[in-house]
A and B are shown apart, each in its own frame.
Chain A
Amino acid sequence: QQQVKQSPQSLIVQKGGIPIINCAYENTAFDYFPWYQQFPGKGPALLIAIRPDVSEKKEGRFTISFNKSAKQFSLHIMDSQPGDSATYFCAAQDEGAQKLVFGQGTRLTINP
């Protein structure tokens, strides 16, 4: 019930392409869904987050799509650049539990 399943594990996209990373959850009590970006040797950093009352949120080239009925959410990166190469983690939070549950991560490579 506490799991967040993330796919794919790794993804290679050409520069300018639109990588899509998907996450699914079971716990209907989850009410906050952030995405984190992690570069090698660094800690994760918050990229963008969404709550289930909206179906889409866009910040710059990054978009979260949220499907409450399917209990799925995804990250799209528009006009991807080699500098976007990193590991991306989705997460979910149950406000009552006050802790984040992370997906397994997706290693994204953008080829020039």
Chain B
Amino acid sequence: DSGVTQTPKHLITATGQRVTLRCSPRSGDLSVYWYQQSLDQGLQFLIQYYNGEERAKGNILERFSAQQFPDLHSELNLSSLELGDSALYFCASSVGFQASYEQYFGPGTRLTVT
């Protein structure tokens, strides 16, 4: 158990809908990262927050947004969902903001868009 929690575990929704994925980092970790894992694209970095501020951005679509709250939990919002958004979404946390700090991954949220 990494200490990172993600909810929900599974999510099934229809195209065009909006969903929110939630992540609670390990106690003491200030950085939260979001990743998308799909069969054809592998593990893709989406976005990073550090102590409430956006720190780095990857291949995140404009339809997706994220935020980190004062209690350090983070939410990833996915809107106008398309079939291609079906994937595993992982949250990771680390103590610092540089990617060389060990990142601890949560169990993931499996999103299925029908």
Contacts and interface: CB of A to CB of B under 8 A. Distances in A.
Interface in A81-112: 89, 93, 95, 97-105
A45 interface: yes
A43 B108 contact: yes
Interface string A56-72: 00000000000000000
A103 B42 contact: yes
Nearest to B88: A43
Interface residues of A, number: 20
Contacts of B102: 46
A45 B2 CA distance: 8
Interface in B68-114: 90, 92, 97-100, 102-108
Nearest to B92: A43
B105 A93 contact: no
A101 B41 CA distance: 12
Nearest to A42: B107
B99 A93 contact: yes
Interface string A30-68: 001000000001111110010000000000000000000
B42 A97 contact: no
Contacts of B64: none
Interface string B43-68: 11100100000011010000000000
Contacts of B44: 102
Contacts of A93: 99-100
B97 A98 contact: yes
Contact of B58 (A41, A99, A105): A99
A112 to B, nearest CB: 27
A32 B99 contact: yes
A103 B58 CA distance: 15
Interface of A: 32, 41-46, 49, 89, 93, 95, 97-105
